[in-house]
Structures are given as C-alpha cells and as structure tokens.
Amino acid sequence: MPLLDKIKDHSAVIGVIGLGYVGLPLAVLQTQKEFLVIGMDEDQNKVDQVNKGKSYISDVSDEDLAQAIGSKRLTALTNLNLIEKCDIILICVPTPLTVNKEPDISAIIKITQTIAQHAHPDMLIVLESTSYPGTTEEVIAPALMRQNFEIGKDLFLAFSPERVDPGNPSFKTHNTSKLVGGFTPACCATAQIFYEQSISKIFPTSSTKVAEMTKVFENVFRSVNIALVNELAVLCDRMNINVFEVIDAAATKNFGFMPFYPGPGVGGHCIPLDPYYLAWKSKEYDLRTRFIELAGEINEGMPYFVLAKLQRILNQAGKCLNGANILVLGVTYKADTGDLRQSPATKVIELLQKEDAQVTYADPYATTFNVGSVEYHAKKLSPSLLSKSDCALILTAHSQFDYEMIVRHAPLVFDTRNGTRLVDKQSDNTKLL
C-alpha cells in the first residue's frame, strides 16, 4: 500500500527516535489517533518507564501513557533495527551545545547513519530536533543519497520543528501550530498530510532551511527581548526603580509593545541554546551576529548580578554571604513545571557554593537537585524553615508557594521573579530584582 494511503487510514507504523520532552508527547499523541508507534531511545531507564506506563514528563500523564501501552499501540525499546519496520521516522534527539558553545549535532549524525542503513522506499523521515539552518539539507539528505535514494521520489524528507512549551495548560502538541518544510515539494506535501492527522494547524514553508531558520528565530526573538529587560533591570536597580512596575505600565499601551520580564537568567532547552546555533552558522557566511551574541552574554550574566545584589542585601542587614543560610525557592527553569534543563538556579547555587553560603531549597516540582558534586534534597516550605534562613531567594515563582507566609516569616526576601507582587509591598524585608 502506498505511504499516503497508509497515512490516511492510519495504518502507517511510526518510529519516534528520542523519548524526551518532544518525542514522548508526540508518540502518545499518534497512538491516540490509532497509529502504531515504536518509541526508540538509548536510555534503558526511559524505555522501562514508558513500557510500565510511568511518565517522566509533566505534559504526558500516567493515564495517557498507560492507555497507549495497554492498547498495544506504543512499544518502547533501545533496538534501532526496527527502523526498517517503520513507514515514518520522527527524529527527536537532543541538540545541545559543546563547552565552547558550538552546536553539537552528534546525535543527529549518529541516528542519520543508522536510518540510512535501514531506510526503505516510500518512507517519510522528519527531523523535529532544533538545529541550525541547513542541517536537513547538509547532513541528513546526503546520507540518504549515498544509499541511492532519490529524495522526493523514492522516499520523503522534511523538517518540522517542535514547539514544546512545558507546563502550558492551553497549548499542547495537538493544538500548537506546526511548521513543515520539505526537501522537495513532494516531501513537504507528504509531511503535511501526515501531521494533519493529529495536529490542528499546519503551516508549510518553501524549504527545510526556512523552517529551520524560523524555529531558531523564534527563540532568538525571545532571547533578545529577555536580554533587553534584564539589562533594564540592572539599570533600574541602580536608579532605585521597580522594573516590574515599569514593564507592567508599558504593557498598558494598546499597540506596539509586548511585555517580557527579567529574571535570574534563562533556562530550558531552547532559549539558552538555539541562538548560538544561528550565531555559529552565520560565521560560515562571513557575518557575526553581534546582537544575538550580546543577548546571550547579558542573559548569562544575570546569575552574577543576582549574587552581587544578594551580597548587598545581606550587607545592608549586617550579614555576610559567607556562611549565610540561603533558602532558594524554586529551582526549575519555569514556574509550575518540573523541568530542570539549563535552569539558572544551577549557576546561582554554584556561585553561592563558591562563596561558602549554606544552601537549602524548596520546590514542589523537584525533589532532588544536583549542582556539581552536591546533591540537594528539597525541604518542605514552612514558617520554621523560612525563619531559620538569613534570606529567602526566589528563583522560580511557583504558584504553589505561599508568598504571604514567605514575606511574613523570612528575615529577608530577595524576589527575582516578582512572585510576591500580590503581597503588601510596604514590607521592607522584600527586595526585587
């Protein structure tokens, strides 16, 4: 049966390679549309958890995962040889940075080599992992061509970037607009038809490069604007102006302004990483993207600003950071999620360690947190815990935190997220970023 017919009657077998924040929700979604899905991941622990119906990702419930496993529509394994049994392959592997902040697409290269060995005619291969513009065309396509496949005729290749927003209650995989860029028009059309089976809005682009650039640009846009308000926060601190009040006041304008808010740094997989992919690629074209690189520098400097201001707050209270009991409130990178990837709390706590501060933390979404060789265990937030601290440092403004209690019982509060905004601001023990 031709691939398009298999897609339309949902008899196509889908292979999802990488069962992380992108791959697992995508795999479960396809089972809900009655596709048969083979999930593949090199992490045996993830595979075991999936097959037990136990989700390790907040956006996938145990109930939905258990239903996918119980229906026999989802199977997870580490064996990549079953790629040859699949009609559609979705690549959802990590794309981190090297220590020198250069793209590390080794996972894409490795899996591409394996796919090329097991590929067969009438197969659709889609890269979902974020990478620099040109990755699909320069890395994946040549590997398939070396196996004598004519892309767009023998098999189909596309790029369709993930747009995951962990913890977002309104937008999940099925109702988040999906970009699709094909290596050829036939590739784009095939990928579009596939994603239309499970996702509400599909937007085709003219090429894989356009889709790749669009995805990176989305996160560059956020990075630059966050850097702008972070720099504004530093200036407002010098001028003794509440930066959050300034932003909220600016947001009353009916047009031409989009509010972004400062914080102790940026986290997650996208914003701290993706801009560097574009900055690195730009050098191939004799262009240095100074604006993008500057934004990265500003955002990466915020933990140092937090440390400096914390020292000043303690000094004004007659205390020293060395030996101080610092209670960190929130260590995930984003409020109301358990996602620890690239959390700015990691760098802040690392800096506190170097100053010999005594660090404890409370976070309802993260029971353990590792910084360097130290493993921290979450404490239950209580008046007693707060009163024993020298300063409560709010790094993530979880809605579960009782901010009235925090302000009432902590000797000092340093709020980097404006979580205490609904608490009486007359309290002189609370300082904002």
Alpha-carbon gap, residue 384 to 375, rounded angstroms: 23
Between CA 409 and CA 274 the distance in angstroms is 40
CA 25 to chain CA mean position, Å: 14
* Residue 7 pLDDT > 90: yes
Provide the pLDDT confidence category of residue 357 given band limits of 50, 70 and 90. Answer: very high
CA distance 39 to 23: 8
Instruction: Report the percent of the chain where pLDDT is more than 70.
Output: 100
d(C-alpha 303, C-alpha 309), whole Å: 10
- Which element (helix H / strand E) includes 90? strand 88-91
Q: How far apart are CA 349 and CA 381, in angstroms?
A: 18
At 174-183, the pLDDT tens digits run 888 999 999 9
Classified as helix, coil or strand, 102 is coil
Q: Residue 18 above 90 pLDDT?
A: yes
State the burial class of residue 373 (Cβ atoms within 10 Å of its Cβ: 0-12, 13-18, 19+). exposed
At residue 33, φ and ψ (nearest 5 deg) are -95, 15
Element (H, E) at 180: strand 178-182
Same domain membership, residue 379 and residue 240: yes
**Do 244 and 339 share a domain, yes or no?**
yes
Q: Which of 206, 236, 267 is the last residue before a domain boundary?
A: 206
Tens of pLDDT along 327-336? 999 999 999 9
Q: Are residues 24 and 121 in the same domain?
A: yes
Residue 1 has pLDDT above 90, yes or no: no
pLDDT value at residue 424: 75
Claim to verify: residue 161 and residue 94 sit in the same structural domain? yes
Assigned domain for 214 exists: no
Confidence of residue 14 (pLDDT cuts 50, 70, 90): very high
Q: What is the pLDDT of residue 426?
A: 60
Residue 417's closest CA among 400, 433, 399, 401?
433
Q: Are residues 128 and 21 in the same domain?
A: yes
Residue 197 and residue 249 in one domain:
no
**Does residue 264 form part of some domain?**
yes
Average pLDDT over residues 388-409: 96
Residue 425 has pLDDT above 80, yes or no: no
Look up the pTM and report it. 0.91
Q: Which residues pair with 393 in a beta bridge?
A: 328, 414
Provide the pairing of β-strand 178-182 with 156-159: antiparallel
Among residues 210, 156, 141, 161, the alpha carbon closest in space to that of 187 is found at 156
Q: How confident is the model at residue 397 (pLDDT cuts 50, 70, 90)?
A: very high
Q: Are residues 58 and 174 in the same domain?
A: yes
pLDDT tens-digit readout, 180-194: 999 999 999 999 999
Mean pLDDT of 272-300: 92
SS3 assignment, position 223: helix
pLDDT at 270: 84
| pLDDT band, residue 198 (cuts 50/70/90) | very high
Distinct helix (H) and strand (E) counts, the chain: 15, 15
Instruction: Supply the pLDDT for residue 353.
Output: 97
| Domain end (from 146, 173, 206) | 206
Whether residues 238 and 355 fall in one domain = yes
Q: For residues 411 and 267, state if they share a domain.
A: yes
pLDDT tens column, 87-98: 999 999 999 999
pLDDT band at 269 (very low <50, low <70, confident <90, very high): confident
Helices 208-239 and 274-282 meet at what angle, rounded to 10? 110
Q: Which residue has the tokens 């959050």?
A: 244
Q: Is residue 215 one of the residues assigned to a domain?
A: no
Residue 267 near residue 341, CB atoms below 8 Å: yes
Quote the pLDDT of residue 59: 86
The answer to whether residue 270 is domain-embedded is yes
Domain membership of residue 325 as a residue range: 224-432
| Residues in CB range of 373: below 8 A, 6 or more apart | none
202-243 residue pLDDT tens: 999 999 999 999 999 999 999 999 999 999 999 999 999 999
Backbone angles phi, psi at 158, to 5 degrees: -150, 165
* Summary mean pLDDT of the chain: 94
Domain count for the chain, please give it. Answer: 2
Is the residue at 219 inside a domain? no
Q: Does residue 10 sit within a domain?
A: yes
Task: Show the tokens assigned to 16.
Answer: 């999802």
Average pLDDT (318-326) is 96
DSSP three-state, residue 148:
coil
**CATH no. for residue 166?**
3.40.50.720
Q: Phi/psi of residue 423, each to 5°?
A: -90, 150
CA neighbor of 36 nearest in space, from 83, 80, 71? 71
**Residue 415 confidence class, pLDDT cut points 50, 70, 90:** very high
Q: Which residues are catalytic?
A: 270
Instruction: Determine the average pLDDT of the residues in 115-124.
Output: 96
- Residue 216 within a domain: no
DSSP annotation of 151 reads B
In the structure, what pLDDT confidence band is assigned to residue 168 with cuts at 50, 70 and 90?
confident
Q: Residue 165: its pLDDT value, please?
A: 79
**pLDDT exceeds 90 at position 101:** no
Task: Indicate if the pLDDT at residue 339 is higher than 80.
Answer: yes
> Are 154 and 47 found together in one domain?
yes
Domain presence at residue 68: yes
Asked if residue 393 and residue 282 are part of one domain, the reply reads yes
pLDDT over threshold 90, residue 365: yes
Q: Is the pLDDT of residue 380 over 70?
A: yes
257 lies in the same domain as 128: no
If we measure between CA atoms, which residue out of 246, 396, 218, 226 comes closest to residue 299? 226
